[in-house]
Structure formats: structure tokens, C-alpha cells
A and B are shown apart, each in its own frame.
Chain A
Amino acid sequence: MREMISMVVVLTVLTAVSGGLLAAIKSGTELRIEEQVLKFQKAPAIAQIFTDVSNDPLAERFNVETEGTTLQVFPGKLEDGGTAVAFETKGKGGYGGDVGLMVGINTDNDQIIAVRVTTHSETPGLGARAKDDPSFVSQFADLSLEENLDLKNNNGSIDAMSGATITSQAVCLAAIQAQELYKKLKPEILKQIQ
């Protein structure tokens, strides 16, 4: 009996201390990790989407509130005088968790400029091609936001990557989510850009 109690007590104390320690370290590093993700994931994606902007989308980023969550928006001034925005959405149901997708939209004609995959944990060589090989995500370029951004077998206009249907579906879900968010938040976003 004494042994039983000591086993329970030791394991409980150990896991409790471990949980507390990890929570403290997580909140301590959170801000820095966010900065690093911005620098190494979002910044390269934005640079590839906005190839010819005259401003610094990273420095001019602003937040838009939507249903309790905050959407980080990166504005871009296009060479032809138009404006564009980029923001990130998370596609649920990838092979290794959510797939982050940075979507750039021209606010003048509501067309997608380009999209790029950011954070993901897909299989290298299969799903990870969504990020490494831009031929899949380049299908989204210049599509109108009125278009169905789903895969072709769901009556959409996007060809899935062979061998990586689940990842392709997650990317499409992220794009559709971006489409809906943009339609809902466009007035708000335009107000903030001015």
C-alpha cells in the first residue's frame, strides 16, 4: 500500500512540475517564436507574392478583428498604383496537421495575385512539394475570387498534386477560407489601408 501511494505521489508531482515548467517556458518564448515565424516563414512567402511592391508590407502590417480572432494583414502598394493585401489562413486536415497559406489579393479587381504555403508538417517529397515546388500553388494565380477554389473533383478549378491529394485539399480549404474572410472583411481592410 505504501508503495502504491509513493508511486502515485511521485508521478503526479513529477508531471505537475513538468507541466508548470513547460507552460512557463512556452509563454516566455512565445513572442520570440512569433517573430521568427514572421521572419522565416511569412516574410519569404510575402516577398514571392508581392514581387513588385513599392512599400514594406511587413512594416506596415495591421490587425483586423474578426469573430474574436485577430487577422494579421500585410498591405502592398502595386507598381500600377493599385493596392493589394496578403494574409495567412490555416487549411485544416493536412497530412501532418494544418497547412498555413499566405494569400495575396489585389483589392482593385478582387483577383488573387499569388498564394504560397508557409508553416506545414507535410511529408517531404510528397505533400511538402506544395511549398518546395510552386507549380501547384501557381494555379491560384490570377484567379478571380468568384471562382470555386476547390479541387477539380469537387467541381473546383484546381488540379491536385499527384500523390498528395490530402495536402492539396488542405491548401484548397485554406484558399476558400481566405476567399470567405476577404469577402467579409474587405470594407474593414480597405478602411485600415487608407
Chain B
Amino acid sequence: MAQSLAKEFTKGLWAELPPFRLVLGLCPVLAVTKTVENGLGMGIATTFVLVFSNLLVSMLRNVIPTKVRIACYIVIIATFVTIVEFLAQAFAYPLFLALGIFIPLIVVNCIVLGRAEAFASKNTPVMAIADGLGIGIGFTLSLGAIGLVREFLGAGTITIWGGTPVFDMTSVFANFQPFGFMIEAPGAFVALGLMLAVMNLIPSK
């Protein structure tokens, strides 16, 4: 039991790492990773939704009729996404402004619906939470990693939290010129593609 629980948790961190191994949920991956902070914020919001929707779907798995299961999952997911939206506005307003439309769009994030359908609806609540946490943390770290590459190259800074950079290239090289392309949308594709290529060099098992 404990062993399979650990397995469900760790698979999301490496073997089934959402953006790199499964290449899923790319919309927020490409759109919000301009800074590490935005990437991490988006990841945490998605993790919250993922854990609670997995828990609820798993608890109700014997109650929800199969024919309307997708509708039920969407109601559950949308409820938690709206809760995240309220909480983000109340406690992290600048992050809410930066993520904008991508918070409500977590509803249609295929990772969340995919875990509900493929995992939570067939497993116990404890397993579902482990799965949600693993996938969510893997997703958060992936977004942070892409954000790190894009922000470091594109702006020469690293912003972890609170809007103030913890590292600034201009303090090391006074005449540093950022590679602005990486901050733009095409730069997101290039960063993701290169990181995918590197990930594929390492075997997943």
C-alpha cells in the first residue's frame, strides 16, 4: 500500500511529468511562463484544483452515473477553479493580474480532466490525492523550469516571488543586453522544444 502510494506520487515527478513526458497542458505552459513567479503561481493554482477535484471525483466515484460523469467532473473542477480565482484575488492580487484569463482556463486544462477520468474515478481517495499532488508538483516545477530559462535569457532576471528579482544580470555585467525574443510567445515554443529535446535524451524509466 505505502509502496504503491509512493509510486503514484513519484510518477508525476518524472515518468509522467505533464509538459515534458506527456506533452499535455501546453496552453498555460506556453502562455504564463514569462517569469519563474508566474510559472510557479500557475502551477500552484493548478495543483490546488487537481488535488481537490481528484479527491472529490474519487469520493463520489460510486455515486456519479457513468453517462453524466464528464458533466459532473466539469462541475467539480469549475467549482475549485472559481475558488482559486477568488483566493488569488484576495491574497495574491498582482499574480492574479499577471495570470489573467489563464486562471479560469484551468477548467479546460486536459491534465485536470484527464486525471479525474483516467485515475481518480477508478481509485481510492488517498491514492487520488497522491496522484494529484505528484502530477501537480511535477507540473509546477516544469512551469518554474521553463519560466527560469525564459526569464533568465529574455530579461536577465530571476523572480521567484513578490515581483522583485532575486537575481539580476545587470548587477554582474553592467552592459548586459537581454535576449528579448525568449519573453515573446515564439520564444516559449523554442524554450519548450529545446527542453523537450534534452528530456528525451534521458530515458524515462
Contacts and interface: CB of A to CB of B under 8 A. Distances in A.
Interface of A: 3, 6-7, 10-11, 14-15, 18, 21-22, 25-26, 29, 32-33, 36-37, 39-40, 121
28 contacts: A3-B67, A7-B65, A10-B68, A10-B72, A11-B72, A11-B75, A14-B60, A18-B75, A18-B78, A18-B79, A22-B79, A22-B82, A22-B83, A25-B83, A25-B87, A26-B86, A29-B86, A29-B87, A29-B89, A29-B90, A33-B89, A33-B90, A36-B89, A36-B93, A37-B93, A40-B93, A40-B97, A121-B101
Interface residues of B, number: 24
B89 A15 contact: no
Interface string B67-81: 110011001101100
B165 interface: no
B114 interface: no
Q: When A and B form their complex, which 3 residue pairs have the shortest distance between CB atoms, in order from nearest?
A: A36-B93, A32-B90, A29-B90
Interface of B: 60, 63-65, 67-68, 71-72, 75-76, 78-79, 82-83, 86-87, 89-91, 93-94, 97, 100-101
Contact of B64 (A10, A37, A40): A10
B86 A25 contact: yes
Contacts of A25: 82-83, 86-87
Given A33-B89, A36-B90, A14 B75 contact: yes
A6 B71 CA distance: 14
Contacts of B97: 40
